[in-house]
């Protein structure tokens, strides 16, 4: 039996030919009955080949494109070639003696839609964001083992539920991961210590958020060090395991207060201070709601504040409320930021544009009568590449501002 062909609705092939990797349910003219998740299909327009990918009957994205070359078969050689290319990019631009943790495969950005692989020293964590990838898991594992010397590969798939509409396809990237399992080799230890620009970080691959750590903020944590120099009191909001906190302390901040609702994450943050030769007793760790903490700070002030909240907008409909939330958060932070102080702030909501995010900060500055100067603007690092034809893949925004004297 040959490859199944799916004919597109009229005039919907242009964005695929331009490089977009998703074929939505509404774009398929006559979806076949009984086609299994993971089946390789050819997408056609007017009977002519447009792209080849895998089918997912549960998703609003019915086909995720893997190749636009009609001569390229999807099999073990394909997976090995694509993963080799992705790994080579990280070895060229990210992995060094000082950094042994990185995203090895970033889904659509690496031509492997729905596949995420994070490297933590000798262990890798594999996350599959589509039911259509389950059938290809063994080939992906073999390709990964062939390219990287590993002690083990751990699986942390998303809970894959049926997507009701296209909005769900971006929001699921922030859903809670399913229970993990060893896919190959050894089980990762409860505490795995990795290096990030020389900073030592303990990561919990089995129970930590995402795959254990927020690798996309690696370069921004490193950039923070220069702004922490000479700062007396720093505040890291939504601190999780304290990556920005340790960076601030290593950069020269004399006291760093880490605030997060997760007491377990703060325990890991204390451990990360110790791993870097920093005395946790000289710093603060507060299990609290960030907004309540900021509003209850009273006369306390800080001359460096980091805001790295979870995604505020998981659908387009949620964007207005998210922008209101960002404005409220920044008003509270600016109220306790000292004159001449540094505000480092991030948004990981793909639905919120950089312009809209800065607009929310501008609104907060106006309402608190604060003059802000933009010092630096950064996006996601090279191990989180985004296709130019897939703007949905650009999600991380990071800005550094200075408050007027």
Look at residues 26, 55, 129 and name the one whose alpha carbon lies nearest to residue 392. Answer: 129
In angstroms, the CA 296 to CA 286 distance is 13
* Residue 237 annotated in active site: no
Catalytic option among 128, 257, 348, 361: 348
Q: What is the CA radius of gyration of the chain?
A: 22
In angstroms, the CA 257 to CA 217 distance is 19
Look at residues 233, 237, 243 and name the one whose alpha carbon lies nearest to residue 213. Answer: 243
In angstroms, the CA 266 to CA 240 distance is 7
In angstroms, the CA 311 to CA 273 distance is 26
Which residues are designated catalytic?
Answer: 348
């Amino acid at each position: 039996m040959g490859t199944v062909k799916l004919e597109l609705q009229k005039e919907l092939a242009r964005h695929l030919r331009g490089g977009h990797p998703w074929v939505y349910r509404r774009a398929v003219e006559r979806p076949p009955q009984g086609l299994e998740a993971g089946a390789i299909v050819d997408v056609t327009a007017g009977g002519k080949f447009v792209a080849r990918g895998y089918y997912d009957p549960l998703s609003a994205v019915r086909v995720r494109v893997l190749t636009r070359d009609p001569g390229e078969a999807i099999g073990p050689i394909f997976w090995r070639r694509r993963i080799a290319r992705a790994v080579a990019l990280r070895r060229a631009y990210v992995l060094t003696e000082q950094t042994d943790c990185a995203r090895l495969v970033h889904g659509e950005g690496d031509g492997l839609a729905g596949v995420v692989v994070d490297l933590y020293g000798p262990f890798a964590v594999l996350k599959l964001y589509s039911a259509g990838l389950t059938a290809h898991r063994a080939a992906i594992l073999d390709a990964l083992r062939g390219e990287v010397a590993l002690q083990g590969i751990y699986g942390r798939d998303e809970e894959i539920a049926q997507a009701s509409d296209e909005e769900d396809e971006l929001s699921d990237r922030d859903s809670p991961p399913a229970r993990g399992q060893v896919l190959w080799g050894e089980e990762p230890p409860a505490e795995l210590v990795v290096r990030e620009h020389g900073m030592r970080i303990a990561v919990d691959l089995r129970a930590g958020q995402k795959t254990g750590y927020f690798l996309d903020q690696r370069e921004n944590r490193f950039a923070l060090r220069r702004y922490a120099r000479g700062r007396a009191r720093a505040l890291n909001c939504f601190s999780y395991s304290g990556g920005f906190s340790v960076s601030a302390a290593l950069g020269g901040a004399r006291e760093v207060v880490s605030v997060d609702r997760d007491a377990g994450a703060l325990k890991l943050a204390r451990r990360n201070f110790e791993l870097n030769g920093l005395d946790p007793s000289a710093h603060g760790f507060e299990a609290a709601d960030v907004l309540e903490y900021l509003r209850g700070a009273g006369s306390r002030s800080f001359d460096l504040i980091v805001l790295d909240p979870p995604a505020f907008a998981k659908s387009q409909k949620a964007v207005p409320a998210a922008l209101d939330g960002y404005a409220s958060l920044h008003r509270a932070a600016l109220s306790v930021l000292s004159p001449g102080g540094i505000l480092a702030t991030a948004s990981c909501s793909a639905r919120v544009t950089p312009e809209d995010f800065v607009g929310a900060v501008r609104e907060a500055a106006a309402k608190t009568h604060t003059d802000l100067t933009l010092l630096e603007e950064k996006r996601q690092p090279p191990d989180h590449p985004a296709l130019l034809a897939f703007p949905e893949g650009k999600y991380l925004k990071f800005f550094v501002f200075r408050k007027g004297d």
